Amino acid sequence: STQVQLAARPTGWPTADTFRTVQVTYGDLEPGQVRVVNEFVSVDPYMRGRMNDVKSYVPPFALDETMTGAAVGRVVESRSDDVEVGALVQHQYGWRDVVQEDARGFQVLPEIPGAPSSLYLGILGMTGLTAYVGLTAIADLREGDTVFVSGAAGAVGTAVGQIARLLGASRVIGSAGSPEKVELLTGRYGYDAAFNYKDASVREQLRDVTPDGVDLFFDNVGGDHLEAALDRMNTGGRVALCGAISQYNDTERSPGPDNLANATTRSLTLRGFTLGGYLDHAPRFRELMTGWFSDGRIAYDETVVDGIENAPQAFLDMMRGGNIGKMVVRTGA
């Protein structure tokens, strides 16, 4: 099995020295174990936080161990009564092409007719659920809301715009980091307006496309995006603090928004969350999303990088904006 380990804790942006590729040979299966050949492995922004040796909502990655995280694969050998050979499974064993562990570490998934299993890492999985939970449980989406989404062309962002619309938002606005992405937001994802945050200040660009203000802000980016949105929030507005990717590789503390006082004068709710605390919303999400998906009402994009040894590059490309929709690694094992 080819596996990618964390070799060193990065300061600032990870480099080639941060990761190491190793070969691991598994022995015969022990009772209760399965062997799984991965089809797709996920690379996610939260993994940057886990590379640091600090206490957070998930413990840090261990040095010299294989990077863990979500993956989907197929069972090729089984000594478990619960998981059959051929089953499609999801697990958290991460950046490797083959994994052999106790069957209890794997969750059997239903097949998606005509679609790749990678969707379980994106729109039908964790990132789709993050969008749903952030909009509903965290930011209390209401019929007629004007919604602003930062990081709108990414995995979570593409789901947010569509779910917001399906649940009654009247106007959806997004920001992203390239002309191609901006085009996609209005052309394919149904955004009413979108802008490239690299073109000019977010503050000015957001003001220009929100004449009636913003009722709900779904923030994936933080920093200047949060500050700009606080300027435009309507009274009683709600902000889901989902992520702050603009700051994950910072080596110095970033300044706070200069207009946080608006939270008081406009009776805003700013609420952060990590998905792990809201998994009880998964059944309802699955029900809704399965329906929308089979009705053809959900668009999605994926950026696929081939080869598990290229997982570090895929991760870095994603952190730099090289992805449209969900970034996944196809193992090719």
Site for ligand NDP in 20-49 (CB under 6 A): 44-46
Q: Which is nearer to ligand NDP, 73 or 177 (CB)?
A: 177
Q: Do the beta carbons of residue 207 and residue 231 sit within 8 Å?
A: yes
Half-sphere exposure of 47 (CA within 13 A, CB side): 26
Q: Which is nearer to ligand NDP, 6 or 314 (CB)?
A: 314
> How many residues make contact with ligand NDP (CB under 6 A)?
30
| Distance of closest approach, residue 278 Cβ to ligand NDP, in angstroms | 8
Q: Do the beta carbons of residue 93 and residue 33 sit within 8 Å?
A: no
Q: Which is nearer to ligand NDP, 88 or 221 (CB)?
A: 221
Q: Which is nearer to ligand NDP, 36 or 129 (CB)?
A: 129
Quick check: 292 binds ligand NDP (CB under 6 A)?
no
| Distance of closest approach, residue 319 Cβ to ligand NDP, in angstroms | 6
Quick check: 125 binds ligand NDP (CB under 6 A)?
no
Place of tokens 């090729």: 76
DSSP-assigned letters across all residues of 210-230? -TT-EEEEEESS-THHHHHHH
DSSP SS3 for 46: helix
Question: From the list 220, 257, 312, 330, which residue makes contact with ligand NDP (rule: CB under 6 A)?
Answer: 220
Question: From the list 275, 311, 328, 329, which residue makes contact with ligand NDP (rule: CB under 6 A)?
Answer: 275
Q: Which is nearer to ligand NDP, 10 or 32 (CB)?
A: 10
Q: Do the beta carbons of residue 160 and residue 185 sit within 8 Å?
A: no
Cα distance between residue 97 and residue 71, in whole Å = 10
Site for ligand NDP in 77-116 (CB under 6 A): none
Q: Which is nearer to ligand NDP, 46 or 170 (CB)?
A: 46
Dihedrals φ, ψ of 29, to 5°? Answer: -65, 140
Q: Residue type for 92, please?
A: Q
Q: Residue type for 98, please?
A: V
Quick check: 270 binds ligand NDP (CB under 6 A)?
no
CB-CB neighbours of 54 under 10 Å: 10
Question: From the list 274, 290, 310, 313, which residue makes contact with ligand NDP (rule: CB under 6 A)?
Answer: 274
Q: Do the beta carbons of residue 36 and residue 89 sit within 8 Å?
A: yes
Tell me which long-range contacts 279-282 makes (C-beta under 8 A, separation of at least 24).
Answer: 281/129, 281/132, 281/133, 281/136, 281/137, 282/129
Quick check: 243 binds ligand NDP (CB under 6 A)?
yes
Question: From the list 98, 318, 328, 329, which residue makes contact with ligand NDP (rule: CB under 6 A)?
Answer: 318
Nearest partner of 219 among 319, 134, 98, judged by Cα: 134
Quick check: 75 binds ligand NDP (CB under 6 A)?
no
Quick check: 307 binds ligand NDP (CB under 6 A)?
no
Dihedrals φ, ψ of 139, to 5°? Answer: -105, 5
| Distance of closest approach, residue 42 Cβ to ligand NDP, in angstroms | 8
DSSP SS3 for 127: helix
Site for ligand NDP in 138-197 (CB under 6 A): 151, 153-157, 176-178, 181, 197
- Binding site residues, ligand NDP, CB under 6 A: 44-46, 127, 130, 151, 153-157, 176-178, 181, 197, 220-221, 242-243, 245-246, 273-275, 318-319, 321, 323, 327
